[in-house]
Amino acid sequence: MPTEAAAGAVPDTVPDAGALGALARALLDTASLTRVLPRRARVAPAAPFPGDRTSSAQALLDRLTDALGTPGVEVVPEPGPLSATELAVSRRLALRPHDGPADEDLLQDVTRRARTAFPGRPVVVSAHDGSPLRCWAAGPEDAPAVAVVGACGMPVGLAAHWMQALSPSYRVVTWESRGLFAADDGSGLGELTGHGLDVQSDDLLAVLDGFGIGRAHAMGLCGGAAIALAAAARSDRITSMSLWHGDYELGGAAPKTPHQRDVESLLAMVARGRRQAAGMHRLLSRPATLEALRQDIAHYLIHPYATPELLYRYGLLNGAIMSTDCRALLTAGPPTLVVTSAKDATAHPAGSAFVSAHLPRARLRTLPEGDHLTAFDAGGELVGLAHEFLHEVTTGDRRGT
């Protein structure tokens, strides 16, 4: 991911505010990974350090992680021994050498700015079964509410573009999947007390409860579209929906892509038990895994594969999303915008077409360009579609209590 700390740059001075700020933000951006690893993540520079700069890089990272309250990382001179997860962290950090230590006042200022940067620190909300949910909110509290329902197992950073695009006009809330993210206090993963699609849709309603929101538009992306559908089918608090590149199980009513079939088989296998998940994790830890991931967001995409326990839980949670027949949920009555792309090779666009055709108040927009992951980028055309539809369905609406 491009940062001010561009790969290959070799400064001859102490780190400046731009370089330090970029590194601090990258450490926070990868903290969801470094918190769940069983040992300190090893990280390598983007290019070999000239001379003996490893110790100075380690000292700077130690000071930054201490100030940020994130797990420490161990600098190694080259990426050869690193796992796929550690390589993803290394690429996001884009380490470069520095000759001297950062000024303490400068370091404290950049870490303060990084901690308070959008979307900020999480608020922990209790699910209806007591599970802790890491949540975020942005935008005016008295504006119509939008719940961004992201893809299962993805860190908040993947939803941040949508939060930022919509929060000037709406109260935008989101959360990370239950049981897949470690607490900031170092206590590790909480217990996974439930994993069905109904439980995950209840989490959406619990997030609304946690922020005092009575009703909301549900914006579901990828597997989050199925969660939004399930929530709307069981509660009239979901007053409208937009479903973006949805990943649906529809029996034989719509085809699936090879990717969908492969992932569903993988999830079914690792959900059988922790032994099976550990065996698959050894394969997925190989550096070649990164070749299939978009490099600028690989540190998000690899999160649910980072440890055997995460992979096992991901098999249960995302497996439930991908295997629960959504046809029974298509009675949901709120107005709905369904968006897909003819070039989506991840979630078959025919699934979106079927959902749109069978929801009572849905319209379909099939875009000629854009793959599955561009739905998370919140590009101009997609944001325009969202704003147009949200204006239509929320005009005159205020937050319900």
Q: Do 111 and 128 share a domain, yes or no?
A: no
Written as one letter, the residue type at 138 is A
Q: Count Cβ atoms within 10 A of the Cβ of residue 258 and give its class: 0-12 exposed, 13-18 middle, 19 or more buried.
A: exposed
Task: Say whether pLDDT at 135 is over 80.
Answer: yes
pLDDT tens digits for 86-115? 999 999 999 987 656 678 889 999 999 999
Alpha helices in 69-127 (DSSP H): 84-93, 104-116
Looking at 7-21, 184-198, 203-217, which range is the least confident one?
A: 7-21
Residues 137 and 252 in one domain: yes
pLDDT of 63 higher than 80: yes
**Tens digits of per-residue pLDDT, 240-289?**
999 999 999 999 999 999 999 999 999 999 999 999 999 999 999 999 99
Pairing of strands 238-244, 216-221: parallel
Judge if 157 and 61 occupy the same domain: no
Number of domains composing the chain: 2
Q: Which of 78, 100, 116 is the last residue of a domain?
A: 116
pLDDT for residue 12: 39
pLDDT for 364 beyond 80: yes
Query: What confidence score (pLDDT) does residue 10 get?
Result: 34
Q: Which of 203-207, 226-230, 368-372 has the lowest mean pLDDT?
A: 368-372
Q: 136 and 75 in one domain?
A: no
Instruction: Give me the percent of the chain exceeding a pLDDT of 70.
Output: 94
Please tell me whether residues 221 and 279 are part of one structural domain.
Answer: yes
Residues 44, 87 share a domain? yes
- List 362's β-bridge partners, or say none: 336
- Asked if residue 7 is part of any domain, the answer here is no
Q: Are residues 308 and 169 in the same domain?
A: yes
Residue 182 in domain = yes
* Model confidence pLDDT, tens digit, residues 370-383: 999 999 999 999 99
Residue 323 reports pLDDT greater than 80: yes
Query: In the prediction, which pLDDT does 3 show?
Result: 34
Last residue of one domain, picked from the residues 116, 134, 153: 116
Q: Which domain holds residue 47?
A: 17-116
Residue 157 has pLDDT above 80, yes or no: yes
**What backbone torsions phi and psi does residue 146 show, to the nearest 5 degrees?**
-125, 125
pLDDT for the residue numbered 2: 34
pTM of the shown model: 0.93
The pLDDT of residue 98 is 67
pLDDT for position 47: 86
Positive or negative CA dihedral for 134, 187, 284, 77?
A: positive
Asked if the structure places residue 166 within a domain, the reply is: yes
Q: Could you check whether the bond before residue 119 is cis, i.e. omega within 30 degrees of 0?
A: yes
Tokens of 268: 């079914």
Average pLDDT over residues 386-401: 77
Q: Which long-range contacts (CB under 8 A, 24 or more apart) does 281-290 make?
A: 281/305, 281/307, 281/308, 281/311, 284/84, 284/311, 285/83, 285/84, 285/85, 286/83, 286/84, 287/79, 287/82, 287/83, 287/84, 287/87, 288/84, 289/84, 290/84, 290/87, 290/88
Range with the poorest average pLDDT among 75-84, 145-154, 157-166: 75-84
Instruction: Give yes or no: residues 291 and 212 share one domain.
Output: yes
Is residue 50 very low, low, confident or very high in pLDDT (cuts 50, 70, 90)?
Answer: confident
- The answer as to whether 1 is a domain residue is no
